[in-house]
Structure 1
């Protein structure tokens, strides 16, 4: 990345960083979408098994992968401060942490997976598919976590289109592997939903190998000589990665897991209500990729400017990103409001479920503005390496304000199941307000230091 001297220059550089991240996130979202869709084409039981397996895996993965996102602001600030010689050591220590985390997940899963699945009121065959799906997936966890470190390094340099290309290459391969292994094509056995787990594991190995090759052979990455020497374990660097990363990971976990918790609480309602809730939530998650991507881009550009101690530029980037998020999400929210029924019809054909989904999508419209603020602001705060207070704010917003208020509205008012969605909106709004105040205070403090 380069220093910019005008708003126009910042818009251009921010767009250069943002667009590939957005395409990458949509590509990763599409992988999960095709896993679910293609498993459902095989059988309803396989769909249920993959859905349960995914619901257990996704919050854990997003939370732990969030820890590795600390590599992005650390490297961005090192590059901004012209300390490129420290980058390879940092990245390799991140790889060590990633491998240890991945192996720990596999080990813990070996002991707790059966008790968790046995505690669920599901059919034996659904339980078997869910377990086998996760076991198959586990063979790709180590390369997946290593890829996340390398992606954070690549993105920190502002070259986010490389991550985009790797993801876009892997998406059709993942679909092909799904086709071969779920349905038993080209001489492979028909594994059903379990095949989706095998396909994902193979894809994770491929994207890790491609990333290692790119970092080792391609400019400008090869100039950092990431893999040119063997570094010993340095717990001091591990501490820096984890001190920044753990709050990031838990912040993401608190946000993603609250949606899983609401889905669990709504299991007391009818199948039609649950299906409508899931459809609306899936589409809301799709739209969330935009503010999430803006937040990830802000971590890079803000971290770069903070590392160079150009605090005024960091502030301009921060609020530019929030503005882009608000404008984009407002436009999409208006479009969604008027096209709720066509969107609902993509997911289901049952008129009753479509009607309920349309109602849930109304609340998804209200999600947009809060998400448009809180996700970019969180990304900017990570660029400042301000993560501990952010962790507390997200915990309180989602789990102390959002979920309890939703439970009270659902169980003690006529809103019923819609109460949970109002609770989610309340939590997201509380997060947007408190995190914005935190960002403003940090920037004010830095402004005083300059004067």
Structure 2
């Protein structure tokens, strides 16, 4: 096999993926800074942020999943050279994202009391509730920003969302510092100060990206309001892709959320260690997410051009690139497992627990990165229903039972919880690749007929 047919795509893959990676890493790095700042207040405060973010993360996954439907549809229209079609998907998608933002805000407000029934430390729940109250409001600007971002991604213009994210992150860090500790004339608000910083940064991020995109001459046709009213068929298309994608993200994100809940039943130190490991894993996951978005964009472009030979070749180039990058993270986690937790907290017991989790995290870097890339390519092909079933089986019928069983204190505790994550991600990666291979293998008569009728 001539590997150069794949490696020659690495540069274009990276050009698209890098802004997405940096933008996503920006979000996680702000979480890292939040955790470092809050970790200085104590283990209970760090655990409270972890618990509050589990509910917020759950809501965010739903909104992100629906917004992800915009990218492949806009990218396919771009591949076809059909601006009118792309504009329709963009404007309908923005309405969908705005409504989702309002619904997610209401969901978080109504769902807050659930935290009291999850067998979590009472002091942690009491600290988490005010934090959630403020961050819930930020779901509205966040979803509008996400709609704009997915639209720009679909046109292979991935750098502008990165600019807005980086600028917003600077604002977030500044206000976190001022409001968490009460610097200068600002009040000391601790966790609520971190939440206000998040809200302010998300409003800024939304406004900045809107004006960047609206003022691009290439994009002006997309910002002209449609003459016809909103179409039910277009919303149906967006929802038919967005709903399964949201379920995919919920099934995967849900098992990580469950790990926080399970760790909380063990104790505050276990939950704090879990939060540290999750934050570090999130950074590497966002790198894989960049390549997953690239897979969606490039595969959808090839689908729009009806070039199925290059569709498979380009997707495989992204898989290879993802594997190589993930392998570096595997080695890094193993070598730095005892050092990285010290960046968050100086409690030795928490540090030791987090180091154990990072060993397991190192093992699933490859499968985690690859399953994101496989999902991205399948999304670009607008194949979302079977991958949704795969995600449910892998994470909830295989991974979660393993987490519950081995996560008991008499077995492996926190590390046992993460054994379930390892199992779920690995099974998901294997089954998703089989799905992609079955859909794109050129020797299959069924596929050939599908290509001819597409």
Could you tell me the TM-score, scaled by structure 1's length? 0.91
Separation in 1, partners of 2:352, 2:183: 38
8 Å contact kept, 2:66–2:97: no
- The aligned counterpart of 1:90 is 89
8 Å contact kept, 2:97–2:147: yes
Q: Given the superposition, is the C-alpha separation of residues 269 and 110 from structure 1 closer, same or farther in structure 2, using an over 3 Å criterion?
A: closer
- The aligned counterpart of 1:111 is 110
Say which SS state the counterpart of residue 81 (structure 2) adopts: coil
- The aligned counterpart of 1:147 is 145
Q: Does 1:206 align with 2:204?
A: yes
Q: 53-62 or 339-348: which moved more?
A: 339-348
8 Å contact kept, 1:92–1:231: no
- The aligned counterpart of 2:32 is 33
Residue 84 of structure 1 and its aligned partner are, at CA, apart by 1.3
Separation in 1, partners of 2:351, 2:108: 37
- 1:256-283 Cα distance to aligned partner (Å, 9 max, x none): 1101112212333344444333333332
Q: Does 1:407 align with 2:404?
A: yes
Separation in 1, partners of 2:299, 2:45: 44
Say which SS state the counterpart of residue 133 (structure 2) adopts: helix
Say which SS state the counterpart of residue 349 (structure 1) adopts: coil
- The aligned counterpart of 1:217 is 215
8 Å contact kept, 2:6–2:317: no
Residue 8 of structure 1 and its aligned partner are, at CA, apart by 6.3
Pairing 1:157-236 to 2, within 5 Å after superposition: 157-222=155-220, 224-228=221-225, 232-236=229-233
Residue 228 of structure 1 and its aligned partner are, at CA, apart by 4.5
Separation in 1, partners of 2:92, 2:292: 25
Separation in 2, partners of 1:407, 1:46: 25
Q: 46-55 or 386-395: which moved more?
A: 46-55
Residue 199 of structure 1 and its aligned partner are, at CA, apart by 1.8
8 Å contact kept, 1:26–1:286: yes
- The aligned counterpart of 2:438 is 441
Q: Given the superposition, is the C-alpha separation of residues 413 and 35 from structure 1 closer, same or farther in structure 2, using an over 3 Å criterion?
A: closer
- The aligned counterpart of 2:100 is 101
- The aligned counterpart of 1:3 is none
Q: Given the superposition, is the C-alpha separation of residues 352 and 203 from structure 1 closer, same or farther in structure 2, using an over 3 Å criterion?
A: closer
Separation in 2, partners of 1:237, 1:190: 48
Aligned with residue 307 of structure 2, among 306, 310, 319:
310
Separation in 1, partners of 2:122, 2:341: 31
Residue 406 of structure 1 and its aligned partner are, at CA, apart by 2.7
Q: Does 1:252 align with 2:258?
A: no
8 Å contact kept, 1:40–1:47: yes
8 Å contact kept, 2:65–2:247: yes
- The aligned counterpart of 1:379 is 376
Q: Given the superposition, is the C-alpha separation of residues 364 and 112 from structure 1 closer, same or farther in structure 2, using an over 3 Å criterion?
A: closer
Separation in 2, partners of 1:357, 1:8: 36
Residue 321 of structure 1 and its aligned partner are, at CA, apart by 0.9
